Structure 1
């Protein structure tokens, strides 16, 4: 058995899953399961169940940091937003019975289209379509932030608590980072992150709007429908969604959006950071911010804080990924790159703080 086969067996018991689906959806003649390895957090399985094409989301195996990989929270928000202006897959099932896959998981319908992860599809390779790719991205984010969250059943105090959200973000991601350091410190240290941590604690904005927050909103967490012009038909990866400061979403999206004036992404983060949006026609970060402000009525102040926080959070994720790699709890080829990737992200956060990577 190869390492890939062994990892696949850890994340799915095909017989147990078939029994569950048979009970919930009825018997079928065709059943296939495939591990989709493009993501880097929760595990994604593509399942053919008769004439249905489904997606299953479950956490990775092994110990994970507290609050990370909450797939049932992800299911709840996607299910609540069905019928709103936010484009989403249709939800199917949610399961808390660990006898099936060894963890919580949920099932949704599979969508058709393109996720722009490594490059643009040829059908979008014109200045006009590139412009629409960027504006569709930020316009969909604005739609998320304009949802009547209590009206769809995502109540304050139950799904999230906006007061103090931004301060808690800094604290929580510092804790996630320290969780990673528990193991990774024996391999190498990243002292620059303590400097970033201190600056973030000292510069948290005092007043912010309160909206539904996606928590991981970026170009490769949306799908563009087949054909042209570019149109988003699904937003994915809601595991970190809550109620809080919308500018944390905007800063996160912008941290992945490269401008022509920026330095090249470090090779050690090439899996996370692509720069094809520096080509002719794509909006700049400033263009995206201006469109967001126009749609929401919010003013994006403190951009250095939110963009530095985003890169700090990405470093925290990278350090958790590196720990999981060292402990043998992932076969993701990106994870070992975080040995050098996290220090590179720390340096980028400091560049943003010091004004050397402007909006």
Structure 2
């Protein structure tokens, strides 16, 4: 099996930055960099932006927030770097942090630079070059879930990790916080979704299931597969929303992106990872497997699934609001308002199924 490395592309005009300033900063903090770097941009980037810096003797990855308005606690590059640095000794799949910049004079925003993990990042479809049959796809899927379970088993009593969260009450804080974000992200014609938020508030469990490190954006396009063996996950990326919280909330957030082969055509159009492939577990199978391996009670997972979709709806609407206000002209965001409305309807279907 031969993997295809993730490909960076030309930088979008609105996402460009002063390369010379970044180069000067990095050469003050990282020894041995040679020449002036080429700069490419990785696909995606609906939230934070990720770039490949190609020096003559080394490749690095830079992460920075987008321009324009943002939620109060979102896009915090300094916190993301701190989380990664604190987690690295316990969870080897975290890329090493090499430099952190909080000087606005460099590019006008905080950013950090990390090691480049060479490997494959899966996008919408599974590359044929991976050579995975149905059994191989299943083993990849199980490895993906296993890495999340590994994360949830990290010892949170370590001082560097303990300070990342606020303790008991995570579920309640999330329901209240994301409901408020939804109201703040409203645009003309958006769905108020007051009924969905009322259901979440009334249906939330009285206590957290556990308190562990959670990723909060765990998807196939945030993991790196080894180039020599695509069944080997060598890295987990995008730690912006990581914290100490409830593990089933993390799983619910991950499954919000899990579009399977028998989903309706609208949801199929949103698919950004190959979870529809023959051999992939269904959402229900993922939940059952997670419950068996983790030992947690997943018999009433409906709340977590609805919340995961609701949170994704808020994220989509926040991005659409930036587009509607003219803070970004990226054409891929033009349909996000319709996507958010669909997510509201999908939440209601799941709520109705819960009885």
Aligned match for 1:145, one of 152, 163, 173? 152
Q: Which residue of 1 aligns with 2:351?
A: 353
Question: 1:237 offset after TM fit, Å?
Answer: 0.9
After superposition, residues 284-295 of structure 1 pair within 5 angstroms as 284-295=282-293
Unaligned runs of 5+ in 2: 1-10
Cα distance in 1 between the residues matched to 2:304 and 2:38: 43
Question: 1:347 offset after TM fit, Å?
Answer: 0.8
Q: Which residue of 2 aligns with 1:202?
A: 202
Aligned match for 2:324, one of 323, 326, 330? 326
Q: Which residue of 2 aligns with 1:305?
A: 303
Aligned length: 342
Question: 1:287 offset after TM fit, Å?
Answer: 2.4
Question: 1:6 offset after TM fit, Å?
Answer: 4.1
Deviates more, 1:251-260 or 1:99-108: 251-260
Helix, strand or coil for the counterpart of 2:46? coil
Distance change >3 Å, CA 44–CA 275, structure 1 → 2: closer
Please say if residues 162 and 245 of structure 1, whose CA atoms lie closer than 8 Å, have aligned partners that are also in contact.
Answer: no
1:134 aligns with 2:141: yes
Helix, strand or coil for the counterpart of 1:107? strand
Please say if residues 124 and 230 of structure 1, whose CA atoms lie closer than 8 Å, have aligned partners that are also in contact.
Answer: no
Aligned match for 1:25, one of 30, 39, 53? 30
Helix, strand or coil for the counterpart of 2:73? coil
1:116 aligns with 2:114: no
Cα distance in 2 between the residues matched to 1:62 and 1:257: 29
Question: 1:124 offset after TM fit, Å?
Answer: 4.6
Distance change >3 Å, CA 263–CA 109, structure 1 → 2: same
1:340 aligns with 2:338: yes
Distance change >3 Å, CA 209–CA 124, structure 1 → 2: farther
Alignment deviations for residues 310-334 of structure 1 (CA, whole Å, 9 cap, x no partner): 1111110111111111222224332
- TM-score, normalised by the number of residues in structure 2: 0.90
Q: Which residue of 2 aligns with 1:258?
A: 259
Cα distance in 1 between the residues matched to 2:89 and 2:131: 28
- TM-score, normalised by the number of residues in structure 1: 0.89
Helix, strand or coil for the counterpart of 1:159? coil
Distance change >3 Å, CA 5–CA 263, structure 1 → 2: closer
Supply the RMSD in Å over aligned alpha carbons: 2.0
Question: 1:163 offset after TM fit, Å?
Answer: 1.2
After superposition, residues 98-109 of structure 1 pair within 5 angstroms as 98-109=104-115
Q: Which residue of 1 aligns with 2:82?
A: 76
Alignment deviations for residues 212-236 of structure 1 (CA, whole Å, 9 cap, x no partner): 1111112221111113351111111
Distance change >3 Å, CA 234–CA 125, structure 1 → 2: same
After superposition, residues 150-229 of structure 1 pair within 5 angstroms as 150-151=157-158, 153-155=160-162, 158-181=163-186, 184-185=187-188, 188-191=189-192, 193-207=193-207, 208-228=209-229
Alignment deviations for residues 144-179 of structure 1 (CA, whole Å, 9 cap, x no partner): 100012326111xx3111311111111111122122
Please say if residues 213 and 242 of structure 1, whose CA atoms lie closer than 8 Å, have aligned partners that are also in contact.
Answer: yes
Q: Which residue of 1 aligns with 2:58?
A: 52
Distance change >3 Å, CA 347–CA 86, structure 1 → 2: farther
Distance change >3 Å, CA 265–CA 116, structure 1 → 2: farther
Q: Which residue of 1 aligns with 2:237?
A: 236
Question: 1:42 offset after TM fit, Å?
Answer: 0.4
Please say if residues 216 and 250 of structure 2, whose CA atoms lie closer than 8 Å, have aligned partners that are also in contact.
Answer: yes
Question: 1:133 offset after TM fit, Å?
Answer: 1.7
Cα distance in 2 between the residues matched to 1:320 and 1:254: 20
Q: Which residue of 2 aligns with 1:296?
A: 294
Question: 1:41 offset after TM fit, Å?
Answer: 0.5
Helix, strand or coil for the counterpart of 2:224? strand
Cα distance in 1 between the residues matched to 2:351 and 2:344: 11
Please say if residues 98 and 115 of structure 2, whose CA atoms lie closer than 8 Å, have aligned partners that are also in contact.
Answer: yes
